[in-house]
């Protein structure tokens, strides 16, 4: 039996309201509500290499760019060995216009070499092993575990970090602390879905500057921490 956190009376109605608003947005805009890496995972049947490569591409890059670049990249490099056949220069050109494309090209080459050397060309389904790969932080590792291996993880990006702090669920300075805080207060069955719910909500309602609190479905449960100006 999982322990009920003292904040649960605020959290449960908020999760229900977010889920409802997410489903409504999905009905209006179809798969535009899905993060790009989720769409890549669906298109490539949860192939771990496709998920890892597109997750690297997605860092600091818009969803629509990630989708297009991932498709081009995975056509040329459907497996780590194929990627190693490309020069770093060609790889950089291939993944442009993703942000930081030169750094990502260098990291992808190193990652492919490590996967072949240590894991027979496979992506490991293990947080610690993923964190040893260049350019892979906790957000990326969690996303790979969730999307490629259907394991439980909490992927904390800027939206999840901001909203979790504004609601008062956590009081943290860094996304990694937020992930740990959410692991303590959220029952495990909600871990995987929290990212998609909050990313969409963060893009549309709980925006970084002047959130739309007057339109927010969870305003009654939110402590508005750090919100000085809202609409
Ligand atoms: S009430 Fe405002 S600050 Fe709180 S979650 Fe909603 S939009 Fe964000």
Per the annotation, the verdict on 157 as an active-site residue is yes
Model confidence pLDDT, tens digit, residues 11-34? 888 888 888 877 776 766 655 667
Characterise 94 by phi-psi region: left (phi > 0), alpha (psi -120 to 50), beta (else): alpha
Ligand 1 pocket by Cβ (under 6 Å): 163, 166-167, 205-206, 211-213, 216, 218-219, 222, 224, 227, 230
CATH classification code of 47-149: 1.10.340.30
What distance lies between CA 202 and its chain's CA centroid?
A: 13
Supply the mean pLDDT for the chain. Answer: 90
d(CA 65, CA 57): 9
* 25 CA to centre of ligand 1 in angstroms: 18
Nearest CA, atom 3, ligand 1: 224
Instruction: Check if 8-32+153-221 and 47-149 are the same fold.
Output: no
Q: Do the Cβ atoms of 176 and 156 come closer than 8 Å? A: yes
Instruction: Report cis status (omega within 30 of 0) of the bond before 97.
Output: yes
Topology of domain 8-32+153-221 in CATH is Endonuclease Iii, domain 2 (1.10.1670)
Query: Which of 104, 109, 139, 192 is an active site residue?
Result: 139
d(CA 65, CA 60): 10
Domains of the chain: which residue ranges? 8-32+153-221, 47-149
Residue 112: per-residue pLDDT:
98
Nearest CA, atom 8, ligand 1: 206
Give the position, in ligand 1's atom list, of the atom nearest the Cα of 222. Answer: 4
Model confidence pLDDT, tens digit, residues 94-129? 999 999 999 999 999 999 999 999 999 999 999 999
């Amino acid at each position: 039996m999982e322990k009920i956190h003292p904040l649960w009376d605020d959290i449960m109605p908020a999760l229900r309201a977010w889920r409802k608003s997410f489903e409504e947005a999905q009905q209006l805009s179809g798969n535009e509500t899905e993060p790009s890496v989720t769409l890549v995972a669906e298109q490539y049947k949860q192939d771990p290499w496709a998920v890892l490569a597109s997750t690297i591409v997605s860092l600091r890059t818009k969803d629509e760019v990630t989708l297009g670049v991932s498709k081009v990249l995975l056509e040329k490099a459907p497996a780590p060995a194929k990627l190693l056949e490309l020069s770093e220069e060609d790889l950089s050109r291939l993944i442009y216009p993703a942000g930081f494309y030169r750094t990502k090209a260098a990291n992808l080459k190193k990652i492919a070499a490590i996967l072949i050397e240590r894991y027979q060309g496979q992506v490991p389904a293990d947080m610690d092993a993923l964190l040893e790969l260049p350019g892979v932080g906790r957000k990326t590792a969690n996303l790979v575990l969730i999307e490629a291996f259907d394991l439980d993880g909490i992927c904390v990006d800027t939206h999840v970090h901001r909203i979790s702090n504004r609601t008062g669920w956590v009081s943290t300075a860094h996304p990694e602390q937020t992930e740990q805080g959410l692991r303590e207060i959220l029952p495990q069955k909600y871990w995987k879905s929290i990212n998609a719910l909050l990313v969409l909500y963060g893009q549309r309602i709980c925006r970084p500057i002047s959130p739309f609190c007057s339109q927010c479905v969870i305003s009654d449960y939110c402590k508005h921490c750090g919100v000085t100006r809202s609409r």
